[in-house]
Structure 1
Amino acid sequence: MKVDTRDLISITEASSKGVSKLVTDAEAGRPQVLLRNNKAVAAVVDISSIERLQRLDELEDDLRLLSIALVRAAADSGRRYDLDEVLAEAGIDPDSLDDE
Structure 2
Amino acid sequence: MTILHEPHELSVTEAAQRGVAGLVADAEGGSDVVVTRRQRPVAAVVGIQRLTEIENTLSDLNDLALVLARAATDSGRRTSFDDVLSAYGHTRESLAALPDDE
TM-score by length of 1: 0.67
Instruction: Indicate the residue corresponding to 2:12 in structure 1.
Output: 11
For this pair of structures, how many residues does the alignment match? 77
Equivalent residue, structure 1, for 2:41: 40
Bigger helix share: 1
Q: Distance in 2 between matches of 1:22 and 1:65?
A: 37
Pairing of 1:1-100 with structure 2 (within 5 A): 1-4=4-7, 7-73=8-74, 75-76=75-76, 78=77
Structure 1 or 2, whichever has the larger Rg, is 1
Instruction: Give the match's secondary structure for 1:18.
Output: helix
Deviation of 1:19 after TM superposition, in Å, equals 0.3
Aligned sequence identity (%): 32
Q: Distance in 2 between matches of 1:3 and 1:12?
A: 21
Show structure 2 runs of 5+ residues with no match: 84-102
The 4+ residue runs of structure 1 with deviation greater than 4 A are none
Q: CA deviation at 1:20?
A: 0.1
For structure 1, the residue ranges without an aligned partner over 5 or more in a row are 83-100
Distance 2:33 2:73 in 1: 44
Aligned-residue CA RMSD in angstroms? 2.0
